[in-house]
Amino acid sequence: MEKIAVSCEGPSLDARVDPRFGRAAGFLVVDPKTLAFEFLDNGSTQVMSQGAGIQAAEIVANSGASVVLTGFVGPKAFQALSAAKISVSQNMENLTVREALDKYNAGDVTVAAEPNRPGHWR
């Protein structure tokens, strides 16, 4: 079963995609066919001065997800996700989790070749 991790502001398919991968409130790990999901809290990264993206990548990798849908990813998080063989699709901000999944299921997302944010942004 394929799993997709979507950075999100809350534990619902109708929650907004959190544009910040590393400092996202959490991740909805979703089966794109059935929309069954589990919420993974990422709140511990909110207080980290460094390493939030790497910590978030570890959470996603441990979930078994093979794809991430998010807004912005920094270079260290992107490298960690790539090392874990997780595809990243960026620029999904301003959508709900459900809308991002609809775009994914329609084949209307691009797998990123590089991060779209420099390091250390908030």
Provide the residue range defining the domain that includes 8. Answer: 4-105
Would residue 87 count as lying in a domain? Answer: yes
> Token pair for residue 37?
């999901």
Confirm whether 52 is domain-assigned: yes
Beta bridge partners of 28: 6, 39
pLDDT, position 53:
83
Look at the chain and report how many structural domains it folds into: 1
pLDDT averages per 10-residue partition of the chain, 122 residues? 94 96 94 94 66 88 97 93 96 96 95 77 46
Judge contact between 16 and 92, C-beta under 8 A: no
DSSP 101: H
| C-beta of residue 71 within 8 angstroms of C-beta of residue 17 | yes
- pLDDT at residue 116, as a whole number: 81
Q: What is the CATH number of the domain that holds 45?
A: 3.30.420.130
Express the helix, strand and coil content of the chain in percent, nearest 5 each: 30, 20, 50
In a domain, 115, yes or no: no
Domain assignment of residue 113, yes or no: no
Q: What are phi and psi of 4, to 5 degrees?
A: -120, 130
Whole-model pTM: value is 0.90
